[in-house]
Amino acid sequence: MAKNKNKVLTSGVERFNRVSLPTNILFSLVFILLALLTVIPLIFVIIVSFSSAESVRKIGYSFVPLEWSLSAYRYLFDLRQVVGRSFLVSIGTTVVGTIIGLFLNSTMGYVLSRRSFALRKHFTLLIFIPMLFSGGLVSTYLINTQVLKLGNTYWALILPIAVSSFYIIVLRTFFQTTIPDSLVESAQIDGASQLTIYSKIVMPISLPALATIGLFLTFGYWNSWFPAMLYIQSSHQHMYPLQYVLMSIEKSIQFLTDNAQFLITQEALRSIPQESIRMALVVIVVLPIACSYPFFQKYFISGLTIGAVKG
């Protein structure tokens, strides 16, 4: 009887859910290899950023440089007023923009997910069109500067990329498949307004989708530099975000390198750790956004737990 019972347990789909020890070891080795392929380039960039300019010139990029140096970070530290101010600008626009973006995209997605909304199909089509056809750079620039008067303001770094048709469609689909109509209708019978339903019922259940879209928004704002080039004039350099400032520093170094025979001496050029500075710029850009990922992961896991509770 025991043998027959074991055969029944190991038959069918359950048989495929059991992983043998060799297969488990193989999968573990594959995942370890993939993790190393992800982490090793970042470690390599950090090592090169601490390499001296002489070491890079002699042996190139190496995990074990001939000489360790802080010259790249000292060079950036000398520009601490510009870099520090732009760092704060990027942090502010990223935090505020992510919050505003989550609110705007989620509210629009929730409205479009309700079948009782009369203009649902009309607005869905209206939102879907920009995913296929862009409005154009000239028209966007004129609307943001001449109509909305966003030029030389922090809102120019936030509002143009706060809403995305893709984010709205993703959230609308999530709300349609996750939030049952019966739940919303029962809340309406109890006298809850749409704003109460959205904030007290829909949002707690939708933490996985919000965490995902929030992560996309955070990446987008942190890496954003194009709006600053379009809408912020040189007379308002204190409003430049970090990405735009770092790009300007790299272009300045490249300009000095390309025109060294006319502008500076070869000795002065050698004193500038060009490659180390480039890697230091990557470290400055990557580390803050990498540190923000566990925050979203925490809420993503808690959102999955909340969505899995059934009574």
For 20-37, what is the mean pLDDT? 86
| Structural domain span for residue 182 | 72-308
Structure confidence at residue 11 (pLDDT) = 52
Three-state SS at 162: coil
- Could you tell me the CATH number of the domain that includes residue 231? 1.10.3720.10
Q: Report if residue 172 sits inside a domain.
A: yes
* Torsion angle in degrees (nearest 10) through CA of 88, 232, 95, 102: -170
Q: Which amino acid is at 238?
A: H
- pLDDT tier at 261 (50, 70, 90 boundaries)? low
Q: Report if residue 35 sits inside a domain.
A: no
- pLDDT tier at 309 (50, 70, 90 boundaries)? very low
Give whichever of 5-9, 10-14, 31-35, 184-188 has the largest mean pLDDT: 31-35
Q: Report if residue 33 sits inside a domain.
A: no
* Whole-number Å distance between alpha carbons of 77 and 249: 13
Q: Report if residue 11 sits inside a domain.
A: no
Give the pair of three-digit tokens for residue 282.
């990557």
Structure confidence at residue 273 (pLDDT) = 65
Give the pair of three-digit tokens for residue 74.
């000292």
Q: Report if residue 20 sits inside a domain.
A: no
Q: Report if residue 57 sits inside a domain.
A: no
pLDDT digits (tens, 9 = 90+) for 232-251: 988 888 889 988 888 887 77
Cβ-based neighbours of 141, under 8 Å, separated by 6 or more = 230, 231
Structure confidence at residue 268 (pLDDT) = 53
Residue 272 CB: number of other CB atoms within 10 A?
17
Instruction: Evaluate whether 113 touches 179 at the Cβ level (below 8 Å).
Output: yes
Structure confidence at residue 306 (pLDDT) = 42
Instruction: Evaluate whether 148 touches 90 at the Cβ level (below 8 Å).
Output: no
Helix count and strand count (H, E) for the chain: 19, 0
Q: Report if residue 123 sits inside a domain.
A: yes
Residue 56 CB: number of other CB atoms within 10 A?
21
- What's the number of domains the chain is made of? 1
Identify the sign of the CA torsion 18, 23, 24, 30. negative
Cross-strand partners of 70: none
pLDDT digits (tens, 9 = 90+) for 43-82: 888 888 888 878 888 887 888 888 888 888 888 888 788 8
Q: Which of 48-57, 145-154, 270-279 has the lowest mean pLDDT?
A: 270-279
Q: Which of 46-60, 136-150, 262-276 has the lowest mean pLDDT?
A: 262-276
Q: Report if residue 259 sits inside a domain.
A: yes
Structure confidence at residue 217 (pLDDT) = 92
If you average pLDDT over every residue of the chain, what do you get? 80
